[in-house]
Amino acid sequence: MSARTFLRLFTHIQMLPILESGEETLVGGQAVMEGVMMRAPHSYCVAVRKANGEIVTDEMPVQRLSEKNSIWKLPILRGIGTLGQAMSLGLKALRFSANAALAGDSVEKPAEVSNMALAMNLAFSLVFFIVMYKVVPLFLVTQLSHKFAVLNGRIAFNALDGIIRLAIFLAFLGLVSRAKDIRRVFEYHGAEHKVVFNYESGKPVNVENAQSFVTWHPRCGTSFLLVVMVISMLTYMLVPFDGFWAKLASRIVLLPIITGVSYELIRFAAKRQGSALAWITAPGLWLQRITTKPPSDGQAEVAIAALDRAMSLEAKQGGELVIA
């Protein structure tokens, strides 16, 4: 794998939580390299447009974790399981799209992302995430607390820690959004949202109808990630640890629980649209002005192709389109 391909894959992996919808819902999806993954309750399809204009797809049936084991129906745990499965499918879709991009116009033994290359990229991405969003904010606030006594209080310390974490996230987002590759992914992200809106409206799903909808959607991972950051800040205020390493360990260990709680909060708010709880997803909708861009008709066509194949596979399985 070339350094450029490694960097592209790394950037896309970092963007996975922003680009995908992890909620168990009727339809949802994720933007990938030059394509879109769509998910129905029991099926999955990723569609990618190759350099020669051809749309290639990969599809398979998917069983919900809550149908495999009832433990994944429990609050908190259902969020951890659902989001874990969504990330796993997202990586599969990303790998397929990367392979399609590497293939180009070739029809003879195109280059592929190997298991080793993907594992190395995942490991690097995980280390980057821990360092940038856990170690760096904690280190900076710890150093500042030696100079400013007010930061020795648990509330002030963790409030500043959360603000720095959010600032790093926004800076990273602003930086990568300047890249041509990522801008195209944001356009496919917008195409995914438009097509999902089109489907949910009950109107015939086609390019013209899809393009009439907005690109920001309340179930987007962007909204979810911001909620995670706020819940993290509030949770850390309750953790009675003072040492740097103890705080760092607690931040890593508590991440799954914080994720599960955030999922429940988003799920609760989603069922009460128009209520005072709308403020929970509002910042994410604002931020989607960055993470989604108006797609071309061709990009909307790719998103529709992914949805059509996913829904066709769903129908073959006899699946009922209901929200669990």
What's the 3-state SS for 187-207?
A: HHHHHHHHHHHHHHHCCCCCH
- Percentage of residues in the chain with pLDDT exceeding 70? 84
Confidence band (pLDDT; 50, 70, 90) for 179? confident
Query: SS3 for 98?
Result: helix
Residue 245 pLDDT > 60, yes or no? yes
Range of the domain at 183: 3-316
Residue 95 CA, chain-centre distance (Å), reads: 15
Question: Per the domain annotation, does 323 fall within a domain?
Answer: no
pTM summary value: 0.84
Question: Per the domain annotation, does 74 fall within a domain?
Answer: yes
Question: Per the domain annotation, does 259 fall within a domain?
Answer: yes
Question: Per the domain annotation, does 150 fall within a domain?
Answer: yes
202-217 average pLDDT score? 91
- Percentage of residues in the chain with pLDDT exceeding 90? 34
Question: Per the domain annotation, does 177 fall within a domain?
Answer: yes
For all residues of the chain together, what is the average pLDDT? 83
Per-residue pLDDT at 313: 87
Question: Per the domain annotation, does 324 fall within a domain?
Answer: no
Q: pLDDT tens digits for 144-164?
A: 999 999 998 899 999 999 999
54-61 average pLDDT score? 91
Question: Per the domain annotation, does 131 fall within a domain?
Answer: yes
What's the domain count of the chain?
A: 1
Residue 188 pLDDT > 90, yes or no? yes
Alpha helices in the chain (DSSP H): 3-19, 65-68, 77-103, 115-130, 136-145, 154-176, 180-201, 207-210, 221-236, 244-253, 255-270, 282-291, 297-316
Question: Per the domain annotation, does 321 fall within a domain?
Answer: no
